[in-house]
Amino acid sequence: MRTDARIAWTLTRGSDRREWWRIALTAAGALLATGLALAAVTVSAVSGQASIAFGHGLLNQPGQRTGVVATLLLLLIPVFGFLGQCARLGAVHRDRRMAALRLAGASPRQVRRIAALETAPACLVGAVAGFAVFAAVLAGSGRTPPPGAWAGFVVVVVAVPAVAALVSGFALRKVIAEPLGRLRRTGHRPDRRTSLAFALPAIGVAAAAAVLRRSDGSSGGDTFAPLVLLLVLLFSAGALWAAGASAAFMGRRLTAGARSPAVLIAASRLREDPWAAARAHAALLLVTVVGTGFVGVREVILAALRERGGYSSADLDFYTTGLDLTGAAVLVALFVGLCGLAVGAAESLATRRRGLAAQAAAGVPRAVLTRALLLETALPLAPATLLAGVGGMTVHLAYAVVVTPDSFPSMLPLLVPVGVYAACLLAAATSLPLLRRMAHPAELRFT
């Protein structure tokens, strides 16, 4: 391991200019992860009843602080997913180095480990920068955390690069560097397990119906929290499987009968690696389920508060602030997921740069390649986003039945899947400038 780390550090220092943007993205992801983890440590270090002038008393009670800490830790999931996307992109750019290591006698597992360890220095820089920013914010606030919190800060700064390296190694587990410099990625083949795309949401709906049937409106609050968790997990997993299953189905069908060149190119890509869409959209599908459900639950809570009345302005500000901060957390997760999608689209182009150059040299117009790139995202994402939106609406309707059974539920959450779908297409479009460079006949010199 020490030898691998030394080689990784040497390769990182010798990176060319084209790889520094990857290193910068990795450092930015580590900075965000460090900031979230440090904030969670700071909030958890507060004990007992407190008086904190933030969010209209949102952090005063221990139970409320526990919810804030859980939200901050959950935000680490899309951030580390983004770091995994950066690692896959870096592996493609380092194919020559990986091939040289293979020719020198390194095993495929060792090469993947070295490539993953290249992430650690950039993450360490990001973690230190995140700690510096966080320390400046603490100094400006005039508050001093207890001594135990500082020990937690040190653990965070050390743990973030270590966890990022592990995530990078996990992201590269399917990448095999062959001795002659060709990279290939082994993927899952579609099989009968794609039926889970429909079975898991069906189980979620059945569970919601069973719980709500036994709920009488007074005890529904006790069972709603585990019900929400069950629905989010089932619908997220189902939407993830739907992305891969629909990509495989569309790839087979459209390849056989497509008349448009752009559709044919996109279908060939989907048929070659149908589960690439599931990998790239995993965090976004989870955010779609959570975001759709949150918008609906927020509308129900505000409507219930207005209907019941008797609340002071301070109480309303407390509830509204808590809901707004939760919505901000969902938006942060969406932004990080979109960044991961953009990096994944760039990684896909970098992997296929030789094929794109060959197509451009053969006379394929760049407009056709542009439409094909967008279709690779749009086709499998549509059914997956629809299923994720159905999951979020199920959460919304279940909560509305428990809290306000006599009112008509809001249809505002239906806009969330549409907005996420449009944002995903815009994120994929950010890789179009890279397509202009990759789809150039000059790239054929690397073959």
- What pLDDT does residue 128 have? 92
Q: Which residues contact 440 (CB under 8 A, 6 or more apart)?
A: 357, 360
pLDDT value for 288: 92
Q: For residues 23 and 87, what is the distance between their CA atoms, to the nearest angstrom? A: 9
Could you list the beta-strand ranges (E) of 299-388: none
* Cα distance between residue 330 and residue 287, in whole Å: 7
Residue 191: the pLDDT is 47
Kindly state the DSSP code that residue 176 receives in the 8-state scheme: E
Side-chain half-sphere exposure of 102, counting CA atoms within 13 A: 19
Q: Is the torsion defined by CA of 340, 342, 344, 346 positive or negative?
A: negative
Per-residue confidence (pLDDT) for residue 385, from 0 to 100: 93
* Residue-level pLDDT, tens digit, the chain, 447 residues: 677 777 777 766 666 555 667 778 888 888 998 988 988 888 887 776 666 656 555 666 766 777 788 888 888 888 888 887 777 765 555 666 666 777 777 777 777 777 777 777 888 889 999 999 988 888 877 777 777 788 888 899 988 888 888 887 777 666 655 555 555 554 444 444 555 555 656 666 666 566 555 555 444 445 566 777 777 888 888 888 888 888 888 888 888 777 888 888 888 888 887 877 777 788 888 899 999 999 988 888 888 887 777 667 766 777 787 788 888 889 988 998 888 888 888 777 877 777 888 888 888 888 888 898 889 889 999 999 999 999 889 888 888 887 777 777 788 899 999 999 999 999 989 888 888 877 777 666 655
What are the residue ranges spanned by the domains of the chain? 2-185, 192-446
Is there a contact between 361 and 265 (Cβ–Cβ < 8 Å)?
Answer: no
Query: Which residue blocks in 14-52 are alpha helix, DSSP H?
Result: 17-45
Residue type for position 211: V
pLDDT score for 345: 82
Are 414 and 389 within 8 A, CB to CB?
yes
